[in-house]
A and B are shown apart, each in its own frame.
Chain A
């Protein structure tokens, strides 16, 4: 399955701890984490992406959000947004 292969390729990158795909409503479609964490990430990140996107578009209506990265002490969360889905990857770069 092309989808599974793609996820495997991403998972095999250095330090990747988890991958979640959510749809435009914030409902998880695919995940490599446990259910409870997935639901938590999905809800919180969906809100954050919507806020980030509206921030970018408010500053310049011709612009739009292409990628979002949140760096914390313990890891980094990368989000690739799109019309129908968001891809969320959690990576610990020093692993």
Chain B
């Protein structure tokens, strides 16, 4: 042992260690013992649960207790099951002042300078990134003006609404966009030139992963819709594209070559539209059924819905084997006629179709007649027609969290959110921002964060709106109300 002795001098100015005292001693252990411990995984659940073991004796007094309470409890359970006391009773724990409020207004200045519109918006599968496609939606002539696809990550702290996180330059207008349902980095796009492209946003160099190129197989008309389709092998997806030339093509990506390979091809011609008393054949003049909208059914992988420029609304089947009555154009795959059923046609182009994520038979469609039509797959006439606007409706989409709610974007710029559970057919909420120069061209609900709604406009802005609690929280009887609506199908 060593110790430092305090100074003994009184003045304290010159600290000196005093002499160190030390002593020596020896120690030896006489007996030893060895022992060890180890913790074992402690399964608390097992510990606490005193299930009667082999002897099967219930704890004392349990029988008597149950005899005492049984009648009361059964009476309460029965009454509760029949009670209507809480039927419409809802409690709001969240504070909300307005049904809709604008969170962000995203812009890409160089696209705005060139007067580009937002043609399509899509949320990534994680719900944090919004991808926006730019282009023009009104010019009829061939457009060679370059445009772009921009993405913003809304969950990032340094979000700059005037500067996109990622800008992908594209040679021509992008007319359709769809994010991959499982891989957040992949985005599929359809171009005005008829090409279909998949971009991989995780690549720093050239983001183009696969594209169709200008081959004999590809579209020659603008692609108005692209969608990811699950293929037979789990986890693999193909891209379905629809163009105004009446072709719906299913592509699989060849990653080595960076090209798309045509997997299946469908052609829609007026002569092969299923016979029905409705089809007055305004489309008889043209030789193709120009596809303006497409919807996949989340319930039936074989079904897809198609809307045309002439107002036709068709149910189609992927597995249809009927060859299409079109001259062979050198496609590698036989063209098939997919139409199986025709719904009551509209007077103008059908701009948007969306299948309900909560009921297998319901879908909503909208077009230039300014109405949103609620259809059942089982009958040709719509179940319900709601007036949205005096002008065209460009997009309708069901809410991912509330079975009875859908939103519709109109050409005059307003967006209406309808709640079928309400008695009135007027919208539950409206996003105003009028003026034809700010037409709402596209909208998308965020399925991960169901209170967010993205809205694209012709002035090149994408607004992110926040919806209130009522518009996003499912109430207890909604699914049965939706069932009731769906069952209104005429016998």
Binding site for B on A (CB under 8 A): 1-3, 6-7, 9-10, 13-16, 21, 23, 27-31, 35-36, 38-39, 42, 67, 69, 71, 73-74, 76, 78, 80, 82, 84-85, 87, 89, 91, 93-94
In the complex, the answer to whether A35 meets B45 with C-beta atoms within 8 Å is: yes
Residues from chain B with a CB closer than 8 A to the CB of A14 are 77-78, 81
- Determine whether B63 belongs to the interface, using a CB cutoff of 8 Å to chain A: yes
The answer to whether B49 touches A84, judged by C-beta atoms less than 8 angstroms apart, is no
For this complex, 15 residue pairs linking A to B, each with C-beta atoms less than 8 Å apart, are A1-B58, A3-B63, A14-B81, A21-B62, A30-B51, A31-B49, A35-B49, A67-B76, A73-B91, A73-B476, A74-B476, A82-B69, A85-B61, A85-B62, A87-B66
With A6-B66, A85-B61 known as contacts, the answer to whether A39 contacts B44 (CB < 8 A) is yes
A39 and B80: CB pair below 8 A? no
Q: Which of B20-63 contact A (CB under 8 A)?
A: 44-46, 48-51, 58-59, 61-63
Residue of A nearest to B83 (CB): A93
On chain B, the number of residues with a Cβ less than 8 Å from chain A's Cβ atoms is 31
Cα A69 to Cα B76 with chains together (Å):
10
Known contacts A3-B66, A78-B73, A89-B73, A39 near B78 by CB under 8 Å: no
CB within 8 A of A87: which of B48, B69, B83? B69
Are B70 and A39 in contact, CB atoms less than 8 angstroms apart?
A: no
Which residue in B58, B77, B86, B477 is a CB contact (below 8 Å) of A16? Answer: B77
Chain B residues whose C-beta falls within 8 Å of the C-beta of A85 in the assembled complex: 61-62, 65
In Å, the complex CA distance between A23 and B48 comes to 11
| CB-based contact A27/B80 at 8 Å | no
B74 adjacent to chain A (CB < 8 Å)? yes
CB under 8 Å from chain A, chain B span 70-94: 70, 72-74, 76-78, 80-81, 83, 86, 91
Residue B63 contacts which of A2, A67, A74, A78 (CB distance < 8 angstroms)? A2
Residues of A within 8 A of B62 (CB): 3, 21, 29-30, 84-85
Residues of B within 8 A of A6 (CB): 66-67, 70
Cβ B65 vs Cβ A82 within 8 A: yes
C-alpha spacing A59/B405, complex, angstroms:
46
A16 to B76, CA, bound (A): 12
Residue contact A13 to B77, C-beta cutoff 8 Å = yes
What is the minimal beta-carbon distance from A8 to any residue of chain B, in angstroms? 11
A16 to chain B, nearest CB (A): 7
B70/A10 in contact, CB under 8 A: yes
Instruction: Given A3-B66, A23-B59, verify A93-B80 contact (CB < 8 Å).
Output: yes
What separation, in Å, do the CA atoms of A8 and B78 have in the docked complex? 15
Q: Indicate whether B157 reaches chain A with its CB closer than 8 angstroms.
A: no
Given A2-B63, A3-B66, A6-B66, also A80-B45 (CB < 8 A): no
Smallest Cβ-Cβ distance to A81: which chain B residue = B69
Min CB–CB distance B452 → chain A (angstroms):
22
B:91-139 near A, CB below 8 Å: 91
Please state if B70 and A9 are interface contacts (CB–CB under 8 Å): yes
Complex Cα distance, B51 from A30, in Å, reads: 7
B81→A93 contact, CB < 8 A: yes
B156 within 8 A of partner (CB): no
Q: Do the beta carbons of B65 and A84 come within 8 Å of each other? A: yes
Chain A: CB-nearest residue to B46: A35
A28, B48: Cβ atoms closer than 8 Å = yes
B45 and A10 form a contact (CB under 8 A): no
CB of B68 within 8 Å of the partner chain? yes
